[in-house]
């Protein structure tokens, strides 16, 4: 594996991860780019104890056309077209988002009155191009390519954790127009947050209060493996299951059998075993209704500076599609109250997904 750090015309970092050690990464970004915007501001909601990022500059970003590779900014550059990636080809490429919600480039912030505290949105947002093949998808990546993506995630997790003020690193993929994705090119994102996210805080609070024999996450995994009714797929080192109290119609959690805090802590063997398991679960999603499943795939990693011994790296994958032409929308109960109502029984969802995995 070869890792090459370079810079785009406006100073943003671009990092290539190549399988070949002799890949030439000397291409230069010659586009005339505007200077980078300053970071968002964070405002504290004293009622929910949550930070909200006010990323006003994101409203001005250009909405990029969907569809063809002819206009895609994530495809490699060519003689006639310059994209975000100056090289004519790449394996995996990671670059700083042009319109980030969090950034180390911040201005000054003023008191806004009320009970809200305000501070700069220190952090970083990156885009991960999973492949140079515009028409591919994560589910179609080879095991070797998934390994390279995992290498990139682990590298970015370790490096972004080192930024002063960063408290949590989140690697994720949003897929499908239904999720609001404007770019068809297979890609994900990484957010380095200046706070511990609400869902992680909830889970770690529960883990701290748990009185069971082991770690809460480990005991949940062990109980799901013992019950078996919601297990979708598994191997020696990983298990994928629908959680007993799933919130989404089709939701799968993927856990390594060994408790580790983050992606950087996974062994070679664990990374190798994850690749085929995860892509088979993604293909099972697409096989459910014979149409592309919109999904969110979210790596839950330990915070950078606290509760690392309590946390348990795992992936939470879910779709908002509940039937061939029906989507689950977050309506009053979910949006206003955070109270979920799920139309699909987890055991039924697991059975359907398991049948798809078995058919492969």
Q: Which residues are catalytic?
A: 187
The DSSP code sequence of 118-184 is EEE--SEEEEEE--S-TT--GGG--HHHHHHHHHHHHHHHHHHHTSTT--EEEEEEEESGGGT----
The site map against Zn ion for 122-141 (x = CB under 5 A) is ------------x-------
How far is the C-alpha of 253 from the C-alpha of 93, rounded, in Å? Answer: 26
CB of 19 to Zn ion, least distance (A): 20
DSSP 356: H
How far is the C-alpha of 325 from the C-alpha of 191, rounded, in Å? Answer: 31
CB of 188 to Zn ion, least distance (A): 14
- By C-alpha distance, which of 149, 173, 156 is closest to 14? 156
Which C-beta is closer to Zn ion: that of 73 or that of 287? Answer: 73
Residue nearest to Zn ion (CB): 72
How many chain residues interact with Zn ion (CB under 5 A)? 6
Which C-beta is closer to Zn ion: that of 75 or that of 282? Answer: 75
The site map against Zn ion for 10-49 (x = CB under 5 A) is ----------------------------------------
Residues 185-204 that bind Zn ion (CB under 5 A): 185
Which C-beta is closer to Zn ion: that of 74 or that of 233? Answer: 74
How far is the C-alpha of 207 from the C-alpha of 355, rounded, in Å? Answer: 33
Give the C-alpha distances (Å, rounded to integers) separating 57 from 53, 115, 124, 246, 338.
Answer: 11, 24, 15, 35, 28
Which C-beta is closer to Zn ion: that of 185 or that of 314? Answer: 185
CB of 77 to Zn ion, least distance (A): 11
CB of 81 to Zn ion, least distance (A): 11
CB of 74 to Zn ion, least distance (A): 5
CB of 151 to Zn ion, least distance (A): 21
Residues 48-107 that bind Zn ion (CB under 5 A): 69, 72, 74-75
Which C-beta is closer to Zn ion: that of 82 or that of 357? Answer: 82
Task: List alpha helices for the chain, DSSP H.
Answer: 143-161, 198-209, 216-227, 268-289, 337, 346-359
How far is the C-alpha of 151 from the C-alpha of 18, rounded, in Å? Answer: 10
The site map against Zn ion for 226-255 (x = CB under 5 A) is ------------------------------
Q: Are 263 and 154 in contact (CB under 8 A)?
A: yes
Q: Are 357 and 280 in contact (CB under 8 A)?
A: yes
Which C-beta is closer to Zn ion: that of 149 or that of 313? Answer: 149
Alpha-carbon radius of gyration of the chain: 21
Tell me which residues touch Zn ion (CB under 5 A): 69, 72, 74-75, 134, 185
């Amino acid at each position: 594996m070869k890792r090459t750090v370079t810079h785009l015309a406006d100073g943003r970092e671009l990092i290539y991860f190549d399988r070949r050690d002799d890949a030439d990464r000397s291409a230069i970004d010659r586009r005339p780019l505007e200077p980078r915007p300053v970071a968002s501001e964070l405002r504290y909601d004293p009622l929910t104890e949550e930070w909200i990022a006010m990323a006003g500059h994101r409203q001005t970003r250009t909405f990029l056309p969907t569809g063809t590779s002819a206009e895609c900014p994530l495809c490699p550059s060519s003689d006639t077209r310059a994209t975000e990636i100056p090289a004519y080809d790449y394996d995996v490429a990671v670059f700083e988002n042009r319109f980030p919600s969090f950034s180390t480039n911040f201005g000054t912030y003023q008191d806004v009155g009320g009970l809200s505290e305000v501070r700069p949105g220190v952090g970083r947002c990156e885009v991960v191009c999973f492949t140079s093949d515009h028409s591919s998808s994560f589910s179609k990546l080879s095991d070797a390519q998934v390994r390279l993506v995992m290498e990139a995630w682990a590298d970015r997790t370790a490096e972004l954790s080192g930024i002063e003020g960063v408290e949590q690193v989140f690697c994720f993929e949003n897929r499908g127009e239904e999720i609001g994705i404007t770019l068809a090119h297979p890609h994900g994102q990484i957010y380095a947050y200046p706070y511990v996210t609400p869902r992680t805080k909830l889970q770690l609070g529960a883990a701290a209060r748990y009185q069971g024999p082991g770690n809460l996450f480990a005991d949940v995994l062990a109980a799901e493996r013992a019950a078996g009714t919601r297990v979708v797929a598994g191997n020696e080192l990983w298990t994928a299951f629908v959680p007993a109290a799933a919130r989404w119609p089709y939701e799968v959690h993927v856990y390594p059998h060994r408790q580790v805090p983050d992606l950087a802590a996974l062994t070679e063997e664990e990374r190798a075993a994850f690749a085929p398991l995860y892509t088979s679960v993604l293909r099972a999603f697409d096989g459910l209704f014979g149409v592309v499943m919109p999904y969110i795939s979210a790596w839950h990693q330990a915070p950078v500076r606290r509760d690392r011994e309590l946390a348990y790296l795992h992936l939470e994958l879910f779709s908002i599609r509940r039937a061939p032409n029906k989507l689950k929308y977050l309506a009053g109960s979910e949006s206003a109250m955070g109270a979920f109502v799920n139309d699909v029984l987890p055991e039924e969802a697991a059975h359907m997904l398991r049948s798809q995995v078995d058919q492969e």
